[in-house]
Amino acid sequence: PGGLCSVPIEAAYHQRIKIRPDPGFGFKWCKEALTWKDLVKHPVRTIACQSIDLEEPARRFTAATIYDEEDSTVRYYPKITLRLRAPIEIENLLPFNIQFYVYMTAQEHTYAAFLRRGGSSPVHIVDTMDLLLLGVEFQDDGVVGLKRSEYAIVNTNNPEDFPVENRLIMEDEDGLKIKLGLHFMRYPLSGGAFKIQIYCPYVIINKTGLDFSIRSKPLMRSPKSVAGQNLCGNASRRKEPRPFLFSHLEDDKRNGAVLRVGDSNWSKAINFDVVGANQQVTMQTSTKTSEYRVGLNVSEGLGKYNLTKVVIIYPRFIIKNNAKLPICLREDVSDNVFIIKPGKRVSLSLFNNSANPQLVIAFESLVGKRWSKPFQIQDVGKVYVRVADPLNSETLVHVEILLQGPSIFIKLNVNADKWPFLIRNKSSCVLHFGQTVINRSQKNNYGIIRLYESQPDTEISYAWDEPAAGLESLIRVILLQRRDQGESSSKPLPPVLLRDVHMLEVGQLEPVRTQ
């Protein structure tokens, strides 16, 4: 198959040729003995080879003669190529193995063959002038409960009464339907041979580890269940995600889909035809006190699978511990604690109802966990979080937040030496500084969250006390007045210097005079 064979020049010119399959298949030579002039005069024909025992149907080939029509020497010399093909070829573009059936109405005979996923099979017993029907049945443990499909017309000799169909309809045990697609490829210069590609409009891969359900949402109508819902469950007990076949019940690009994971309610309608879309899908739980968040990516299949839209459901947040000790984390308004061992990762999908979820982290300790200040997990970039270590001293956890496709990856690492800011006091005064937040009323400590003291000619490593404040944070530097000797009062003196510094203002700033 796919090879070339040259006929000796003298034999090609003076002799006739016959064709048959390999002798091991048990078929005779074709009845017609053809000269090269016959092939030029009738360049398209069907060649049939009868079975030796007459029990097998004849094997047929479509034969097409290819030559240069502008070359006048073709009339006198056999400068031709005879191309042989099977009348039809079936290609399985589904993610599962199938058994396909071709029913030939003229012969009242059904041809069946097993076809692996991604494979193709030639069918030599059919005649492209007859009415042909095609049906499929899954032969894979990954698809249980879907019955053998109805027959679809794939070739016709009466297109007005029996038009060719491009859908295969299958039902499950509950009577729910799914429509597989049929794509026809006509081979040029082949005598009418063609390929039938069997595909599914949408293949959904659930990588969340949560059970999920999906329904088709027609425009302006309520959602409808589709076949194979029994295949969605038990996701948490599988090592590898199983592809789920999905199709709309009606061919309309305005159709959407709704899905749910775990014990959530149904999501809003999602259009799977927007290729390249990365989005977050939010679904409230049945109690409406929390919500699931997942990432969704829609892409076209690669290569020959481009007829299928691949929809992958990811965990929205994936957290990995790159430190050498376990790290505990939880949502700041939740008591549900995750313990991530070194080198391991967890996925977070369930959150309390909040537009900007925040996490807190801590180290394991025998005297109880001392949780850090919260930090936002949707702000891409680096965040530095102060955490009390098991020795009750403060260390720094580097949080790197990356956006990859529809998922947000959060990497945790412990590095007590690399701090984001270094406050260096080169003056002769004792200065106080700390974090202040724009547009926040803070009455204590001169509007500073936590006050730090900087002696002359010293430097202090610093990170935000409230990392969730983000870009709204400023460093407030103050110089306090000293009381005269012997003067006593409980009322603090006003500062003689107060200056807010934005950490993004790189360079030398304007000096400030003290009074």
For 321-363, the pLDDT digits (tens) are 999 989 999 998 888 899 999 999 999 988 887 788 999 999 9
Read off the pLDDT of each residue in 197-214 and give the average, rounded to a whole number.
Answer: 92
User: What residues contact residue 51 under an 8 Å CB cut-off, 6+ apart?
Assistant: 26, 27, 28, 57, 58, 59
Res 215: pLDDT: 92
Rounded to the nearest 10°, the torsion over CA 141, 142, 147, 152 is -120
Distance (Å, rounded) from C-alpha 342 to C-alpha 411?
11
Consecutive H or E run containing 119? none
Distance (Å, rounded) from C-alpha 361 to C-alpha 372?
6
Res 315: pLDDT: 93
Q: Under DSSP, is residue 177 helix (H, G, I), strand (E, B) or coil?
A: strand
> Which amino acid, residue 33?
A
Res 166: pLDDT: 93
Counting Cβ atoms within 10 Å, is residue 352 exposed (0-12), middle (13-18) or buried (19+)? middle
Distance (Å, rounded) from C-alpha 223 to C-alpha 272?
15
Could you tell me if residue 501 is left (phi over 0), alpha (psi between -120 and 50 degrees) or otherwise beta? Answer: beta
Distance (Å, rounded) from C-alpha 496 to C-alpha 480?
6
Residue 382: CB atoms within 10 Å = 12
* Residue tagged 């697609």 (tokens): 181
pLDDT tens digits, 361-386:
999 877 778 899 999 998 889 999 99
User: What residues contact residue 409 under an 8 Å CB cut-off, 6+ apart?
Assistant: 318, 319, 320, 401, 402, 403
User: What residues contact residue 92 under an 8 Å CB cut-off, 6+ apart?
Assistant: 98, 100, 115, 116, 117, 118, 119, 120, 198
Answer yes or no: is pLDDT of 485 > 70.
Answer: no
Going by DSSP bridges, is the β-strand pair 44-49/98-104 parallel, antiparallel, or unpaired?
unpaired
Under the banding of pLDDT at 50, 70 and 90, the label for residue 237 is low
Answer yes or no: is pLDDT of 283 > 70.
Answer: yes
Q: Token digits for 268?
A: 């809003």
pLDDT tens digits, 55-105:
788 888 888 888 888 888 888 888 888 888 999 999 999 999 999 999 998
Res 241: pLDDT: 83
The answer to which of 111-115, 477-481, 485-489 has the lowest mean pLDDT is 485-489
Query: Is the pLDDT higher at 498 or at 131?
Result: 131
User: What residues contact residue 489 under an 8 Å CB cut-off, 6+ apart?
Assistant: 483
Q: Which of 233, 212, 214, 211 is nearest to 223 (CA)?
A: 214
Rounded to the nearest 10°, the torsion over CA 219, 222, 228, 233 is 120
Under the banding of pLDDT at 50, 70 and 90, the label for residue 475 is confident
Q: Under DSSP, is residue 380 helix (H, G, I), strand (E, B) or coil?
A: coil
Across the chain, mean pLDDT equals 86
Q: Token digits for 366?
A: 């025998």
Distance (Å, rounded) from C-alpha 88 to C-alpha 59?
12
What is the Cα Rg of the chain in Å?
Answer: 37
Answer yes or no: is pLDDT of 197 > 90.
Answer: yes
Read off the pLDDT of each residue in 273-293 and give the average, rounded to a whole number.
Answer: 88
Read off the pLDDT of each residue in 437-464 and give the average, rounded to a whole number.
Answer: 81
* Residue tagged 């580097």 (tokens): 398
Res 441: pLDDT: 64
Q: Token digits for 359?
A: 């996490």
Distance (Å, rounded) from C-alpha 208 to C-alpha 317?
10
Cβ(218)–Cβ(201) below 8 Å: no
Beta bridge partners of 180: 168
* Full-model pTM: 0.83
Answer yes or no: is pLDDT of 236 > 70.
Answer: no
Q: What share of the chain is helix, strand, coil (3-state, %, to 5)?
A: 5, 40, 50
Beta bridge partners of 120: 91
Q: Token digits for 454?
A: 């900087």
Q: Token digits for 172?
A: 């499950």
Res 301: pLDDT: 92
Distance (Å, rounded) from C-alpha 21 to C-alpha 24?
8
Q: Token digits for 501?
A: 């510094």
Under the banding of pLDDT at 50, 70 and 90, the label for residue 190 is confident
Residue 92: CB atoms within 10 Å = 21
DSSP string, 2-68: ----PPPHHHHHHS-B-----GGG-BPPPS--B-HHHHHHS-EEEEEE-BSSS-SPPEEEEEEEE--
The answer to which of 23-37, 398-412, 476-490 has the lowest mean pLDDT is 476-490
Polymer length of the chain: 515
Q: Token digits for 265?
A: 């309610």
Ranges of each domain in the chain: 9-85, 88-199, 202-315, 317-414, 422-501
% residues pLDDT > 90 (the chain): 37
The answer to which of 50-59, 79-88, 259-268, 506-515 has the lowest mean pLDDT is 506-515
Distance (Å, rounded) from C-alpha 244 to C-alpha 258?
15
Q: Token digits for 89?
A: 């070829």
Q: Which of 4, 2, 7, 3 is nearest to 18 (CA)?
A: 7
Q: Under DSSP, is residue 452 helix (H, G, I), strand (E, B) or coil?
A: strand
Under the banding of pLDDT at 50, 70 and 90, the label for residue 231 is low
Q: Token digits for 429?
A: 């005064």
Res 401: pLDDT: 94
pLDDT tens digits, 135-165:
999 988 767 778 999 999 999 888 888 999 9
> Which amino acid, residue 439?
N
Under the banding of pLDDT at 50, 70 and 90, the label for residue 259 is very high
Read off the pLDDT of each residue in 385-389 and give the average, rounded to a whole number.
Answer: 88
% residues pLDDT > 70 (the chain): 92
Answer yes or no: is pLDDT of 403 > 80.
Answer: yes
Under the banding of pLDDT at 50, 70 and 90, the label for residue 430 is confident
Distance (Å, rounded) from C-alpha 394 to C-alpha 388?
4
Q: Which of 118, 121, 114 is nearest to 136 (CA)?
A: 114
